[in-house]
Amino acid sequence: MLARPLKYARPASVAEATALLRSHPGARPLAGGQSIVNVLKLRAAEVDALIDISRLEELRTIAATPDGGLELGAGVRYVELASAPLVRERLPIVADVADGLVDVQVRNRGTLGGNICLNDPTSNFPPLLVALGATIRIAGAGAERRSVPAGDFFVGPYRCALEPGELVHSVVLAPLGGDEGVGYQTLQLARDSWALARAAVWLRRDGDAIADARVVLGCLGPRPARQGAIEAALLGGGGGEASVSAAVAAPLEGIDAVGDSHASPEYRVEMARVYAKRAIHQALAQTEAPA
């Protein structure tokens, strides 16, 4: 099917883009176009104008923050995240996740901002950003940016905490300390197939014990789901096989798994526990001094 006729604008600045979005309530930003063009061709959304933000340099920067973290522009493409030395050096998991996305065509066009604003339940970045405790910086009217924690940004399937007339400006990530680790594990039948279950984990050790943790499951509900009971069960433990196995058996939260021709809901949930365990061990391994 062809998309309905619509208007197109290519603003020269973020301020102009947000002004256009405010004055055209039926307009949507166009970033990599990897998802919205399909949505328009399926006529699955009422959109009467596209505001092309894909060439705004202000959204295309990868910057070091003074505390040792990163600020990633919403318009940075996966291929740029995967190959940026600064991202590799400071938060290699972000580069790895970008590098693992689908295929070269999608990686060449798709953007970080598009990924999180689409917020498909199977999207790669939302669970990772919640696990990392990222902050989403949002541009609206005026020069001030407002900030929303990633944990509050993903509201539901295909919905995020943007108000009309706003767009995502950038994602801010804190640095990883030597006593912190990150894990990210996905169950996929093939690299270019939809994920069945996903787990993202951040944790911090204090001596021999896990002192803090964020465990997030993706693909199994309306939004990336933090697992408070698993996190609580991990705290104070040493991260041994038995204690991690016991922790991932804790009751799950925010899960509404659906079945399809690939997997039953029960299988997805069971696999989510298995992949959460793997992600926890992956994160723990980064906090251990090399032998």
Ligand X SMILES: Cc1cc2nc3c(=O)[nH]c(=O)nc-3n(C[C@H](O)[C@H](O)[C@H](O)COP(=O)(O)OP(=O)(O)OC[C@H]3O[C@@H](n4cnc5c(N)ncnc54)[C@H](O)[C@@H]3O)c2cc1C
Please select the residue that binds ligand X; options are 56, 69, 98, 124, rule is CB under 6 A.
Answer: 124
Q: How many Å apart are CA 107 and CA 42, to the nearest integer?
A: 22
Please select the residue that binds ligand X; options are 18, 111, 185, 287, rule is CB under 6 A.
Answer: 111
Query: Is the C-alpha dihedral spanning 26, 120, 93, 215 positive or negative?
Result: positive
Chain residues 225-264 in contact with ligand X, contact rule CB under 6 A: none
Q: How far is the CB of 287 from ligand X (least distance, A)?
A: 27
Q: How far is the CB of 7 from ligand X (least distance, A)?
A: 14
Residue 200 in contact with ligand X, rule: CB under 6 A: no
Please select the residue that binds ligand X; options are 69, 114, 140, 224, rule is CB under 6 A.
Answer: 114
Backbone φ and ψ of 50, nearest 5°: -110, 130
For 52-58, the CB contacts below 8 A with 24+ separation are 52/8, 52/9, 52/10, 52/11, 53/11, 53/14, 53/17, 53/29, 53/167, 54/30, 54/111, 55/10, 56/11, 56/12, 56/13, 56/14, 56/17, 58/13, 58/14, 58/169
Residue 185 in contact with ligand X, rule: CB under 6 A: no
Total binding residues for ligand X by CB under 6 A? 28
Residue 110 in contact with ligand X, rule: CB under 6 A: yes
Residue 121 in contact with ligand X, rule: CB under 6 A: no
Residue 135 in contact with ligand X, rule: CB under 6 A: no
Please select the residue that binds ligand X; options are 18, 34, 135, 227, rule is CB under 6 A.
Answer: 34
The neighbouring-strand residues paired with 111 are: 77
Q: Which stretch binds ligand X (CB under 6 A): 1-9, 24-32, 145-153, 177-185?
A: 24-32
Packed helices 265-286 and 241-248: angle between N→C axes, nearest 10 degrees: 140
Please select the residue that binds ligand X; options are 102, 161, 269, 274, rule is CB under 6 A.
Answer: 102
Please select the residue that binds ligand X; options are 35, 135, 185, 287, rule is CB under 6 A.
Answer: 35
- The smaller minimum CB distance to ligand X, of residues 188 and 243, is found at 188
Q: What residues line the site for ligand X (CB under 6 A)?
A: 28-36, 53, 74, 101-102, 106, 109-111, 113-115, 117-118, 122-124, 162, 167-168
